[in-house]
Amino acid sequence: MIAILKYNAGNIRSVENAIKNLGFECIITDNPAELERASRVIFPGVGEASSAMQYLKERGLDILLKSLTQPLLGICLGQQLMCKHSEEGDTECLGIFDTQVKKFPPTEIVPHMGWNNLHSLKGYLFQNINPAHDDVYFVHSYYSEICINSIATCDYILPFSAALQKDNFYATQFHPEKSGDVGEQILRNFLALSLTD
């Protein structure tokens, strides 16, 4: 069973629909036992960092998420909350990835919204993805800095981490559930992961 983390963030239903369209069963839950039993955990979200972290901490989910050993995928806000610190609300995050979340410099083109390409792809998550042709969909005003855990980058105003990975933890700043056939392939790759990939 695939568990989609329920917390104080939006866009969870679109992830649920994407997983079901791939032919997989899933549940939306903040129950620790269900999260621990799941074969895969997805940590999606659109929202504000400090209120989302407060929800996780109030339920002990901040500690639980870091202890999980099955593949876990953070999406958008989920990726940002897996980093060390976010400038959004001056928020201490989970610290899974050793990088900071910064706000894009103020311009008329923030937020970063729409299709963009990826660079420097690494690992199984991007198997069968061609960065020359396969764009993905972004909506965000904050970005994760490039670091040792970066497995894809994007350039919008400045270069940033479009995807991160450390051990069994994966994350994308873009929305695979909104990225058409490309996003579907990335979700398939995640769901097919073994712990050796």
pLDDT of residue 46: 87
Instruction: List, as one string, the DSSP characters of 84-146.
Output: SEETTTTEE---SSS-EEEEPPP-TT-SEEEEE--BS--SGGGTT--TTT--EEEEESEEEPP
Q: pTM, whole model, 2 decimals?
A: 0.95
Mind listing the pLDDT tens digit of every residue in the chain (197 residues)?
Answer: 999 999 978 789 999 999 999 999 999 999 999 999 999 999 998 889 999 999 999 999 999 999 999 999 999 999 999 999 999 999 999 999 999 999 999 888 889 999 999 999 999 999 999 988 999 999 999 999 999 999 999 999 999 999 999 999 999 999 999 999 999 999 999 999 865 55
pLDDT value for 8: 78
* Per-residue exposure over 86-104, b if at least 16 CB sit within 10 Å of its own CB, e if not: bebeebebbebbebbbbeb
Is position 93 annotated as part of the catalytic site? no
Which member of 16, 26, 76, 154 is catalytic?
Answer: 76
Q: Which of 93, 140, 154, 177 is labelled catalytic?
A: 177
Task: Specify the CATH number of the domain 2-191.
Answer: 3.40.50.880
pLDDT of residue 195: 57
Model pLDDT, residue 109: 85
Q: Which candidate in 26, 88, 112, 175 is catalytic?
A: 175
What are the extents of the domains in the chain? 2-191
